[in-house]
Structure 1
Amino acid sequence: MTPAVHADFDPSTGTVSYVVHDGPGSPCAIIDPVLDYEPRSGRTGTASADRLVEFVRSNELRVEWILETHAHADHLTAAPYLKEALGGRTAIGEHIATVQRVFKGIFNLEPEFRTDGSQFDRLLADGDELRIGRLVGHVLHVPGHTPADLAYRFGDAVFVGDTLFMPDVGTARCDFPGGDATTLYGSIRRLLDLPPATRLFMCHDYPPGGREAAWETTVAAQRAGNIHVRDGVGEAEFVAMRTQRDTTLGMPLLILPAVQVNIRAGQLPPAESNGVAYLKIPVNAL
């Protein structure tokens, strides 16, 4: 099974969103859509999401699923906007409940905010299947970056979320709440045990050295050349590298607004008495 994959790169966040389908007129899934957000003004926009809407409509696709690989810290999800425009159901890993419990405390969210993942239409577990017309997707739980990360495998295409980047960029950080470098190493090796020709699709690219953005590679290319986890790099070496490297990284620009929205499946917090929704900025808490 070789599904068709449409990629849309958002340069402002380095995020790649995908539409997975089986040709014009077929059912499809959207993976990791982006809601534009301007942090200086607090305004949202839909230009990125509208490009996906245009692709889906121009190819007469039918959206069955809007899939999140995890609760992102670098962009807000456009899932509710796309669901209203195109239909479909939202899904994320079942361990989102763990992430919700942590961040409900950090942001001191309203008592009514539920930490059971019920904001999403479906919670997915390792080994679950997703049927999209003739396409069959398999869910892989790949924690380490966060406890709730998933990868989605459709035939020879795997959408790896934030486990791996392009070989010249390396791997995801592990210093967010619930992250763990040892766990991430195991998740990555699980992906790299797939057949060498398996296509791997990244959720982000941060191009070094001025190269053009890229997001598709293979298991063989990662095993041969990933700067952090190529063949021959053992667990202890990886964990030492990843732990040290994470101490040098600043927080993502949009982590505070993004996480608050993404653990709500993309909905904004409840509006206050003046009709305005507000996002919280915890001071000296992170």
Structure 2
Amino acid sequence: MRLRCVYPNSSGTGKPATPAPDGACDAHMHIYDRRFPMFGSPQAMVDDATVEDYLLLQQRIRTQRTVIVQPRVHGTDNRVTLAAIRALGRDASRGVAVVRPDVTDDELERLHEGGIRGIRFTLYTPTNAVTEFGMVEPLARRVHALGWHLQLHWNARQIVEHAAMLERLPCTIVFDHMARLPLPAGPADPARAIVLRLLENGRTWIKLSGAYLDSQVGAAGGYADVDPIAQGWVRAASERLVWGSDWPHSTEPTAKPDDAVLFDLLTLWIPDEATRHRVLVQNPASLYDFPAINSTETPS
């Protein structure tokens, strides 16, 4: 019998030093479940990453709302994400699906009823990608009618190459993982200027997530080289930022990050409690269409 760790796919056992406020949302995580069809390389599957496993992590970091992002290994079969929304509860969870242009209007309506509020284009590395850049605009027009957003996991070079298209898109755009500005350039990368320009339109958002993805100093260095990137986005548009754990950290197969440490980075990036509350509670409630919580007034 295989022994399970206390918090699957997460190192450490301690809770965050800064408690999560009521209504706090983990706006970027994934569910992997072998009960549902898998596509591409089986090596992309992550075990111990079901809803049951995630609930253990949720108890640890004390968030109450969740946004489930369809993982690559489950392709465009969004049943895994819809099932997770049902299990976590419609008032407490939303989803981001992956679709292709042949998706029917009936299917989009079914996804909406199931709690989906956006679609993702994971094109950072095109290997095994189930979507492509030519699909972005046609699908943007269709999901805009539903009030959904486009979530983009692109690298900085791709943001620069497709800047004109990004400016044409009619719907809300959400950049994954702090827009993946590479180090050591970080805030000096040309992609940042493009994202800043897009932020001026009021329909562009950024996820404060995945600090470990581009950090060169890593956990040992407290991901400190990513601080200027995150803090820059906070200064630019704190009203359109959300935070996500990126659990179960599929890019880190051998050394999982400590999710309490990742959560506590927010206190460093956003020392002001009221602004942190906005990023964790009000912003995701607005972006993902969560019901109002009467007890989550902004701290004075």
Q: Fold-level match, TM-score > 0.5?
A: no
